[in-house]
Amino acid sequence: MATFAAGLRTPLALAVLAAALLAGCGGASSPAAAQASTAQASTAQASTAQASTAQASLRPSSNPPRVSLAPAPAPSSPRPSGPPTALPVAPGAGTRPQTRALPSTDSAAFRAAMQDLWLAVTTGNPRLALPAFFPLAAYQQVKAIADPATDWDDRLWYDFTLDVGAAHRVVDPDARLVRVIVPVSDAAWVDPGACYNSIGYWHVPGARVIYQQGGQERSFGIASLISWRGVWYVVHFGAVLRSAPTGIVDQPALGPGVPGPPGGC
């Protein structure tokens, strides 16, 4: 299933969003002036330019961004020795009732989920991404089928483990997660009754995981994210449907790729 296209239609939108996220980038310094008066004039001109730039950046856009870019948090200290450990995302949330809260990509839960997914891919251990995967207890509430627990285990989770293995063969263990692009304008509320569901949820297809490997920016997709209580979870990683029990990497690409398209449930 092609899952990465409609969320980001214009290069301009991505450029504006990426520039907004690259905090700490300063302008080039000017050479020293030969005379004090010239230095003072240059300083005044620079201050005026900075003020104009600041004012321009605060003007509301008539075209809101179509994607949400969540940068990967930089580690504050060296990685501790010992086996890799998953981060908690929303412990126990699956047993609680659903809400209509639209998940944010600028939250600790989302960042932890993407770090866990990345850890699973780079280690080849899908269980490290279990906190990022749609909870079994929530799936049992969502699905209006005879045995949702078996479907979760034998289809959803099994397919996910295959897809993690496939991505692990593509991504180097020392590759670095850069950011995740989520086409938020493509998010849609799936009503009860659709897709054999008894409870509604938010759904967004075609997120992009961007990473650095071998001096190049590369990416792959997340076929489907769905919500539970205001948190995005992976439910289909490489593909929603497959013709054989094999792992799939969703649209691997040099560069960020293209998020979307919208649709699905």
3-state secondary structure the chain: CCCCCCCCCCHHHHHHHHHHHCCCCCCCCCCCCCCHHHHHHHHHHHHHHHHHHHHHHCCCCCCCCCCEEEECCCCCCCCCCCCCCCCCCCCCHHHCCCCCCCCCCCCHHHHHHHHHHHHHHHHCCHHHHHHHECCHHHHHHHECCCCHHHHHHHHHHHHHHHHHHHHHHHCCCCCEEEEEEECHHHCEEECCCHHHECCCEEEEEEEEEEEEECCEEEEEEEEEEEEECCEEEEEECCCCCCCCCCCCCCCCEECCCCCCCCCCC
Model confidence at 69, pLDDT cuts 50, 70, 90, reads low
Establish if 152 belongs to a structural domain.
yes
pTM (global) more than 0.75: no
Euclidean distance between CA atoms 168 and 114, whole angstroms:
15
Establish if 30 belongs to a structural domain.
no
Q: For residue range 1-27, list pLDDT tens digits in order.
A: 333 333 333 333 333 333 333 333 333
Establish if 73 belongs to a structural domain.
no
Establish if 165 belongs to a structural domain.
yes
Residue 174, domain extent: 103-254
* Position 35 pLDDT exceeds 50: no
Q: Under a CB-based contact definition with an 8 Å cutoff, are residues 207 and 180 in contact?
A: yes
Establish if 126 belongs to a structural domain.
yes
Establish if 265 belongs to a structural domain.
no
As given in the structure block, the two tokens for residue 21 are 């996220």
Establish if 157 belongs to a structural domain.
yes
Domain count, the chain: 1
Establish if 159 belongs to a structural domain.
yes
Token pair 């897809």 is found at 163
Q: Under a CB-based contact definition with an 8 Å cutoff, are residues 206 and 260 in contact?
A: yes
* Position 40 pLDDT exceeds 90: no
Q: For residue range 218-253, list pLDDT tens digits in order.
A: 999 999 999 999 999 999 999 999 999 999 999 999
